[in-house]
């Protein structure tokens, strides 16, 4: 995955969509080391009344991507997604009376973390790409003011930084379960995936250090490491998983260390 000194080579600017957001947008641009309101850009982080969003600029570009824990797909999944019967819940080890402390080491837009938090897990999230971390932090801030999901996002903590370094020098309670979802060349043809991959791949690339990520996770997790992969993708280089759970499009490789109780 591209680190922050690499994605800064991408032509990305910060824009305020309404005048009242000019000052916080300027502050965000300064924080990220990006230009403010420049017209020479391929992508833009836009701040407005709906929050922070990432867009590709140009006439044929897809729509914006933002983190929304309150409405849309995550709201539907929270209400009708199958609860603890979901594959990710089974992979992480949820069972009656068991809600492990989970580290989501590749947070992305926080969807998996939100699902686990909605099921009662305490979830810490690592995200090393600063633009994506900014989107995630904005989504958490907005969700914290909503009566329906405030209690859920209160169980979610964002840690900005390189997950490998953070895990190797971990501070605090050791996570029982670490969940990894390394960037992989997706073949999913859905409009949502195509839009997000088109936006994010120039910024983040692929996770070329996935084996080091797995190694650090196995050294830290007290009970298990769970790796999400496309169904037909090879396992990450390193120890073989204890077993796998396979769905229609994705697979969870489980590296078991001891039983959750």
Task: Tell me the CA distances in angstroms from 201 to 117, 122, 148, 154, one per residue in order.
Answer: 27, 29, 32, 30
The answer to whether 66 and 50 have CB atoms below 8 angstroms apart is yes
3-state class (DSSP) for residue 252: strand
The two tokens of residue 53 are 């969003």
For residue 188, say whether it is annotated as part of any ligand binding site: no
For residue 11, say whether it is annotated as part of any ligand binding site: no
What pLDDT score was predicted for residue 85? 84
The answer to whether 213 and 163 have CB atoms below 8 angstroms apart is yes
For residue 155, say whether it is annotated as part of any ligand binding site: no
Query: Long-range contacts for 71-80 (Cβ within 8 Å, ≥24 apart)?
Result: 73/111, 73/192, 74/111, 74/114, 74/115, 77/115, 78/114, 78/115, 78/118, 78/149, 78/152
What pLDDT score was predicted for residue 51? 96
The two tokens of residue 128 are 């090393």
Closest CA to 254 of 240, 42, 230, 60: 240
Q: What is the pLDDT along the chain (261 residues), one digit of tens a residue?
A: 344 444 455 689 999 999 999 999 999 999 999 999 987 888 999 999 999 999 988 887 778 999 999 987 666 566 655 567 889 999 999 999 999 999 999 998 999 999 999 999 999 999 999 999 999 999 999 999 999 999 999 999 999 999 999 999 999 999 999 999 987 555 444 444 555 666 666 666 555 789 999 999 999 999 999 999 998 999 999 999 999 999 888 999 999 999 998
For residue 20, say whether it is annotated as part of any ligand binding site: no
Q: Which residues contact 249 (CB under 8 A, 6 or more apart)?
A: 188, 230, 231
Rounded to 5°, angle at Cα 76 from 71 and 81: 145
For residue 111, say whether it is annotated as part of any ligand binding site: yes
What pLDDT score was predicted for residue 3? 44
């Amino acid at each position: 995955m591209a680190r922050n000194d690499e994605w800064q080579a991408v032509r990305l600017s910060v824009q305020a969509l309404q005048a009242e957001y000019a000052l916080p947008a300027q502050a965000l641009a300064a924080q990220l080391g990006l230009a403010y309101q420049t017209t020479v850009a391929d992508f833009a982080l836009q701040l407005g009344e709906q929050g922070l969003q990432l867009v590709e600029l140009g006439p044929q570009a897809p729509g914006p991507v933002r983190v929304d824990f309150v409405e849309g797909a995550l709201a539907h999944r929270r209400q009708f997604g199958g609860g603890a019967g979901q594959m990710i819940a089974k992979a992480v080890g949820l069972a009656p009376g068991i809600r492990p402390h989970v580290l989501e080491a590749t947070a992305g837009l926080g969807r998996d973390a939100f699902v686990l938090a909605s099921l009662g897990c305490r979830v810490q999230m690592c995200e090393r790409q600063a633009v994506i971390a900014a989107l995630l932090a904005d989504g958490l801030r907005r969700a914290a003011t909503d009566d329906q999901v405030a209690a859920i996002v209160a169980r979610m903590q964002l840690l900005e930084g390189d997950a490998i370094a953070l895990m190797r020098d971990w501070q605090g309670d050791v996570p029982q379960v670490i969940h990894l979802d390394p960037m992989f060349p997706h073949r999913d043809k859905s409009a949502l995936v195509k839009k997000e991959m088109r936006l994010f791949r120039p910024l983040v690339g692929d996770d070329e250090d996935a084996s080091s990520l797995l190694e650090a996770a196995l050294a830290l997790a007290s009970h298990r490491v769970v790796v999400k992969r496309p169904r037909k993708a090879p396992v990450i280089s390193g120890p073989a998983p204890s077993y796998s759970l396979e769905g229609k499009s994705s697979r969870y490789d489980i590296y078991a260390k001891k039983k959750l109780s």
